[in-house]
Each structure stands twice: as structure tokens, then as C-alpha cells.
Amino acid sequence: MEPTASPATRTEHDAIGAFDVPADAYYGIDTARAAQNFPVSGLRLSRAFLRTLALLKRSAARANRDLGVLDGELAEAIVTAAGEVADGRWDGEFIVDVFQTGSGTSTNMNANEVIANRANELLGGGPKGTYNPIHPNDHVNKGQSSNDVIPTTMQVAGLTAIQHGLLPALYRLESSLSAKATAFDGVVKTGRTHLMDATPIRLGQEFTGYAGQVERARRRLSLACESLREVPLGGTAVGTGVNTHPEFAGRTLAYLSESLRLQLRETTNHFQAQSTIDAVVDASAALRGLAVSLVKVANDIRLMGSGPRAGLYELALPALQPGSSIMPGKVNPVIPESVIQVAAQVVGNDATIAMAGQWGFFELNTMFPVAAYNLLQSIELLTNAATIFATKCIDGLEATENGPRMVEEGLSIATPLAPVIGYDRTAELANEAFRTRRSIREVARASGVLPEADLDRLLDARRMTGR
């Protein structure tokens, strides 16, 4: 027995049968069924994904119009409606859970239905759900399949977010770290290996290392972007391009490239492009590498700022908020801690994407939605974390006197003596200095092992740090 529509619903039909849809909804039966089938998480694909999907639909309508396979008036209505979706006007109509059919068909149809109903409204067509004169499949989805549209959207949305968001944020962070490397170049402090005292290093040299980590992570991301540019659009169902014009993908991508200020290209091998998400796995690995680098930098800064009385306190971090609900006056390294938590999430997202990448069976990977969600979340988190790390922590760092003061008290400052008096004799001096709580200089001077001038030259901490 068919459902009976109430005043608040309309009844639509598909190959399975009839289904009630909210009367005023721009989405249709396919979306409504998916919403009922997948009440999993309440999570939705991101604004960046929806924007890219809508821009792809807009570009496809223009390409089909140019190719003479879509009426010009219908195409213009689709272009306008898709533009509204891209601008976020109809975000509330996208109700499908992330954890849905692995091809993302439900999200693709969600877009097709919203755009079709809005385009018909613009043309003064029939009521919502009648799809007259524009049909979600026949017109909005013309020349396309979820199997090539969704992975294309995922790659392009990721590429856009990296190029226009994450890479600029990394340039900003790298610049902040480089500026501190210059500012701290004259600050000589104790180096540490295995968390134990080692030979002296300049604080600026440490920050040069941090800036270098970010710079190399940025380069790895740029390389990953080249894989994301090559998209599967045009392969339709299984990579053969059935039901699409041979020029459709190239023309659509030209319009999409213009809209996004990117260079996109159709893959030269459709059979790998939609049966795998190798490009996304590669990009996620680069994001994971960046996350791991940020943990290193954030942890070092957090540890160098520890104290201020019972820790290292070689760096003074900006005081942004009270650090304790019970200990008055306590200030914590909140920004490094936030960055480290972001990194943990990104590493977890990468594990999900790696598993998703294994789920390509024959002609299709069936983990598109969850891979897209995690990829775009990682990019957004890292973009925001890099920005606040630079602006709310790195820019405000100050060097204290603790680092230089502890250099002279360090034991590894004895290292340059070893080539002159031998390793074993130098170790004896270091052990005696530790045991008697004296400096290496004091013990060496008392032992008469070398003339004072030689000791001054060999125990010059600044000289030990190189150029």
C-alpha cells in the first residue's frame, strides 16, 4: 500500500516504489530514502565538499550546453541553481549522513535533486518533486555518474583547501619560525639528545630546524597536489565513459578550473582513477607527515617553556589564559597542546583513509564519503592549527636568561677537550664536575690539564655552535 501524503509531505515515486518527502523540501525521494536508511552519526560532508560538488554541477551544465546536448534555457537554470548551492544558500537541504553508500550516490543525488527542484522553480515549472522540465538524472547529472563525480569532488575540494588555505598558513608559520631563528641567533643554550645535556646550540639554530621542517612538509604537500589535480571525471560508471560526450570532462574541468583558480586535468587512465583513491591516500600521508612535524615543534616549545621555577624555562610563552581552576597564577602552554591534539586527530584520519584506500574492488572504491570527510577535516584542522600556532604562540615567544646561564654548568661542554687530552681523561673531568657540583671549566683549571688560554678557546660555547 502506497504511503498517503499529508499536507506537510508530498509523495514521490522511483523504481522501488513511493515515498513521502517533506512538501517544502528541495531534495527529493532519493535523498529522503538515504536520510531514513543512514541515521548513523549526524555528521555531514563539509561546506568545502558541497561547494565543490555544486561548482562541478554548474560547470557540467555549461559543458553540456556548449556540446549541444543540453538545452540552453535549462542549462542556465541549472547554472543559477547550482551557483546558489555553491554559495551555501541551500546547505540545510543536504541531509545525508557521511556514513552512507560507499560511492556517495546519495550525496550526488541530493545535489541533483536540490538543483533540479530549484532550477524548475526559477523557470516557473511544476511543483517540487514533479521535475518538470528539469530532471535530476536526465539533466543535472547528464554525462555523469556518482562513481566519477564524487571522487572528483573529493580530490578537487582537497586540492582547493590545500592550495588556498593550508599552504598559505604554512608559509605564515614558516615565516614566524624563521623570524625567531634570526631573533634568537645570539642565544647560546644547552643542546639535548635523548633529553640529556649535549653540546651547546644556538636557540636560533633550533628554530631554523623547525622552519625547515615546515618548509619540507609544505613541499611534500605541493607534490601530493599534483596527484589530486588528475581527476576521474569522464569515466562515468566503470571508467569506460559510457553515456557521456568524449569532450565532456575536458570542457567541464576547464570551467571548474576557472571558477576555482586551479589547474585540473582529466586522468589518462580512468580505470585506476575511480577504482582507487591512491591520490587521496598520498595526500593524506603528506598531511600526516605535517602533523608529526608539528608535534615535534610544539613539544619542543612546550618543554623549553616549562617551569617557570622547576622546569627549563628557556622560552617565555605568551600568557593567553589562566591555566588552572585550582592553582592561581598558573599559565599553561595551551596553543602547543591544541596543535598536538590536532595532530593526533589527523594521524587518526590518515589511518581511516589508508583503510579506505584498500577498499577498491574491481571497478570502484566504495569508501568515498568517509575518505572525503577525513581528508577535508585534516586539511581544515591543520590550516587552523598552523595559523594559531604562528599568531598566538610563535610570534610572541621570548628567550629567557635560563638557557645561556645553564650552558656553563653543562657537562657536555667538555666535548672539545677530548681531541686534545683524550676521551677517557675528558670523561674523568666530566664525572668529577658532576660529583662535586662544579663546572667543567673549574675542574679542568684545578687539574692543570691545559693552559688557561687553551681552556678559554676550547670551552668557548659560542664557538662550539659553528657559524
Do residues 296 and 351 make contact, with C-beta atoms less than 8 angstroms apart?
A: no
Quote the longest CA-to-CA distance of the chain. Answer: 105
Span 92-118, pLDDT tens digits = 999 999 999 999 999 999 999 999 999
% of the chain residues with pLDDT over 70: 99
**How far apart (Å, rounded) are the C-alpha atoms in residues 274 and 128?**
33
- Write down the catalytic residue from 324, 338, 378, 447: 324
Average pLDDT in the 341-358 region?
Answer: 98
Please check the confidence at residue 1 and state whether its pLDDT lies above 60: no
What was the pLDDT predicted at 324? 86
What was the pLDDT predicted at 115? 98
What was the pLDDT predicted at 233? 98
Please check the confidence at residue 3 and state whether its pLDDT lies above 90: no
What was the pLDDT predicted at 6? 59
- Write down the catalytic residue from 194, 270, 325, 412: 194
Do residues 394 and 172 make contact, with C-beta atoms less than 8 angstroms apart?
A: no
Do residues 379 and 347 make contact, with C-beta atoms less than 8 angstroms apart?
A: no
Domains of the chain: 25-142 (1.10.275.10), 148-401 (1.20.200.10), 408-464 (1.10.40.30)
What was the pLDDT predicted at 2? 54
Region of poorest pLDDT, from 309-313, 351-355, 361-365, 444-448: 444-448
Please check the confidence at residue 414 and state whether its pLDDT lies above 80: yes
**How far apart (Å, rounded) are the C-alpha atoms in residues 436 and 342?**
45
The band of 325, judged by pLDDT with boundaries at 50, 70 and 90, is: confident
The band of 467, judged by pLDDT with boundaries at 50, 70 and 90, is: confident
Average pLDDT in the 305-333 region?
Answer: 93
**How far apart (Å, rounded) are the C-alpha atoms in residues 264 and 250?**
9
Do residues 244 and 238 make contact, with C-beta atoms less than 8 angstroms apart?
A: no
Average per-residue pLDDT for the chain: 96
% of the chain residues with pLDDT over 90: 92
Cα dihedral 171, 175, 177, 181 sign: positive
Do residues 163 and 225 make contact, with C-beta atoms less than 8 angstroms apart?
A: yes
What was the pLDDT predicted at 73? 98
Distance of CA 86 to the CA centre of its chain: 21
pTM: 0.95
DSSP string, 6-40: PTTEEEEE-SS-EEEEETT-SS-HHHHHHHHH--S
Span 246-305, pLDDT tens digits = 999 999 999 999 999 999 999 999 999 999 999 999 999 999 999 999 999 999 999 999
Cα dihedral 176, 179, 183, 187 sign: positive
Span 16-67, pLDDT tens digits = 999 999 999 999 999 999 999 999 999 999 999 999 999 999 999 999 999 9
- Catalytic, 13? Answer no
**How far apart (Å, rounded) are the C-alpha atoms in residues 148 and 409?**
65
Closest alpha carbon to 24 in 114, 133, 135, 86: 114
Pairing of strands 315-316, 398-399: antiparallel
* Contacts with 435 (C-beta within 8 Å, 6 or more apart), sequence order: none
Burial 136-158 (b: 16+ CB within 10 A, else e): beebbbbbbbbbbbbbbbbbbbb
Do residues 293 and 217 make contact, with C-beta atoms less than 8 angstroms apart?
A: yes
Average pLDDT in the 219-229 region?
Answer: 98
Q: How many CA atoms lie within 13 A of 444 on its CB side?
A: 26
The band of 202, judged by pLDDT with boundaries at 50, 70 and 90, is: very high
Do residues 374 and 353 make contact, with C-beta atoms less than 8 angstroms apart?
A: yes
Please check the confidence at residue 5 and state whether its pLDDT lies above 60: no
Span 61-74, pLDDT tens digits = 999 999 999 999 99
**How far apart (Å, rounded) are the C-alpha atoms in residues 60 and 48?**
18
Give the three cell numbers for residue 207.
Answer: 628554530
- Catalytic, 194? Answer yes
Query: Angle at CA 163, nearest 5°, toward 157 and 167?
Result: 130
